[in-house]
Amino acid sequence: MIVKNTNNGWKIITQTGHAFLAAQLAQNLAEKYKRSFWLETLLAVYNHETLETDFNSGSILNSKGMPLDFRESKVSNADVIKKIDTMVETVVYRSTIVNALITRHLKFLHEDIFEKHKDKYDTIIETALENYKIKKAEFENMYSVLQFTDRLSLIICCDELPKTDRKIEINNVLNGESIFISNQEEKYVISPWPFNQKEISVYNEFRNMKSASFSNEKEFMEEYHNMKIESYSYSFNSK
């Protein structure tokens, strides 16, 4: 989960919520980025953080009983492999192409671990490419959508959007050219513009937890499920 300490308590965004935001961004991309197997690509964006990763993998609270942000979580290599195996085994039932794209993303996130288990995971990708006659370059173009929208969604969810008169790089995976997001007079501008309209709006959902800390994970989950689901919209412009 993604955790932010605010004046109102703990703002909690699930990993699945982050993935849904990424899917909104992907659906708004310009047509030139919606290449072969677009439905599978979009599903991979949405499913790259499955429901299994929200509260069923790793610790929810830190040693002080505070909600634990995924960036602060310290997980052993063995637990990471277990999580990866759970994800690829779950997603394969949805589509081998979706599974290959998610496996490719996990490889990007956990390069060292994947190198030690190269044959096991590379086979998932190679099988999908062979079965559907997908060239590696085409597959990487498909994957670039996941990588771009995942990064922009995380910038939004982690409250890393730039302040006024600032800009940050999202990444350069869509077409090899760096794409930046800036804040111009309290308006978020993305350049070069990758979307199909001159302005797009997306939203994410979150819960505000009131308690400063929790005695155990059961207590946290009880409050979490009793909190109202809130949402916030974001608009992005081409200039």
How many angstroms separate the Cα of 118 from the Cα of each of 44, 110, 114, 115, 121?
21, 11, 5, 5, 6
- What whole-number percentage of the chain has pLDDT above 90? 68
With bands split at pLDDT 50, 70 and 90, how would you rate the model's confidence at 196? Answer: very high
Give dist(CA 42, CA 23) in Å, integer: 6
**Mean pLDDT of the region 121-136:** 93
The 10s digit of each residue's pLDDT in 61-77 is 998 999 999 888 776 77
More confident residue, 24 or 8: 24
**How far does Cα 1 stand from its chain's mean position?**
11
Dihedral sign for Cα atoms in the order 184, 189, 192, 197: negative
- In this predicted structure, what is the pLDDT of residue 120? 77
The predicted pLDDT at position 53 comes to: 63
Question: Does the structure show a pLDDT above 90 at 152?
Answer: yes
Burial class (CB in 10 A: 0-12, 13-18, 19+), 236: buried
Interval 84-98: pLDDT, tens? 777 777 777 778 999
> What is the Cα–Cα distance from 203 to 233, expressed in whole angstroms?
4
Specify the amino acid at residue 119: D
CA distance 99 to 142: 13
Compare 216 and 110 and report the one with higher pLDDT: 216
Per-residue pLDDT of 28-64, as tens digits, reads 999 999 998 999 999 999 988 865 567 766 688 998 9
Q: Per-residue pLDDT tens for 155-187? A: 999 999 999 889 999 999 998 999 999 999 889
Average pLDDT, the chain: 90
Whether 144 shows a pLDDT value over 70: the answer reads: yes
Which element (helix H / strand E) includes 181?
strand 179-183
Predicted local distance difference test score (pLDDT) of residue 24 = 98
Decide if pLDDT at 207 tops 90. yes
Q: Residue 200: what pLDDT?
A: 97
